[in-house]
């Protein structure tokens, strides 16, 4: 979905939800009797206004649902074959990358983000390392392994792998040797 479509859905959904919420509140006489007194004099007018508000809230939620579905569909990777299409959901690809990080690279603290780039998939990885790790060596290894595995198993080119090291914690002290965490290497 393009920017204009996304903006249209957001504005339509937000405006409908706002009008719906105002109508429900006015029908429940939240604003007092002065705003729409001519319409709310009887219980039927209040009920009609509340029903109108609920309808507008449903319309707004429909636009939000359409927007979420369009974004999810846009992130799916598709391959067309003679017998139909093959789609890979964003969640499945993120799970695959997480498994590669955990099993092949031995990482335990990380988050994976996926985007579409102009030349393929952009994978973002936020990791936590120990202070004894060499950031550039590990980062380049992560980039190489993820690009290779995604290309091999999924058949999608990886444009780039962006690494963000969020923390570098000291390793635990060695109890048997009596070293403290600052000298342990």
Residues 58, 59, 61, 66: is their CA dihedral positive or negative? positive
The b/e string for 31-67 (b: 16+ C-beta within 10 A; e otherwise) is eeeeebeeebeeeeebeebbebbeebbebbeebbeeb
pLDDT higher than 50, residue 176: no
pLDDT higher than 70, residue 22: yes
pLDDT of res. 1? 58
Mean pLDDT of 163-181: 60
Tokens of 156: 């999608």
Residue spans per domain, the chain: 3-75, 85-169
Digit-coded pLDDT (tens) for 34-60: 555 556 666 777 777 788 888 888 888
Digit-coded pLDDT (tens) for 61-81: 888 888 777 766 666 666 677
Digit-coded pLDDT (tens) for 84-136: 877 777 888 889 999 999 999 888 889 999 887 787 788 999 988 877 778 88
Mean pLDDT of 166-179: 56
Mean pLDDT of 1-6: 70
Mean pLDDT of 17-44: 70
pTM of structure: 0.54
94-to-9, 121, 152, 156 alpha-carbon distances in Å: 27, 12, 15, 13
pLDDT higher than 80, residue 172: no
Mean pLDDT of 17-36: 72
160 or 155, which is more confident: 160
Query: Selecting from 3.40.50.2300, 3.30.70.1350, 1.10.3720.10, 3.40.50.360, what CATH number does the domain 85-169 have?
Result: 3.30.70.1350
Mean pLDDT of 142-153: 92
pLDDT of res. 130? 75
| pLDDT averaged over every residue in the chain | 77
């Amino acid at each position: 979905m393009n920017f204009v479509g996304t903006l249209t859905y957001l504005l339509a959904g937000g405006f409908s939800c706002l009008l719906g919420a105002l109508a429900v509140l006015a029908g429940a006489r939240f604003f007092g009797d002065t705003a729409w007194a001519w319409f709310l004099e009887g219980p039927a007018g209040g009920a009609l206004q509340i029903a109108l508000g609920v309808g507008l809230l449903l319309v707004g939620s429909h636009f939000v649902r359409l927007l979420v579905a369009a974004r999810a569909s846009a992130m799916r990777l598709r391959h067309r074959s003679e017998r139909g299409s093959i789609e890979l959901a964003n969640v499945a690809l993120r799970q695959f990358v997480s498994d590669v990080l955990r099993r092949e690279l031995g990482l335990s603290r990380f988050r994976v983000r996926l985007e579409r780039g102009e030349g393929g998939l952009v994978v973002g990885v936020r990791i936590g390392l120990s202070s004894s790790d060499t950031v550039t060596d590990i980062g380049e290894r992560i980039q190489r392994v993820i690009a290779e595995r995604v290309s091999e198993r999924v058949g999608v080119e990886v444009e780039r792998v962006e690494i963000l090291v969020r923390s570098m914690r000291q390793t635990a002290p060695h109890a048997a040797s009596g070293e403290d965490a600052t000298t342990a290497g």
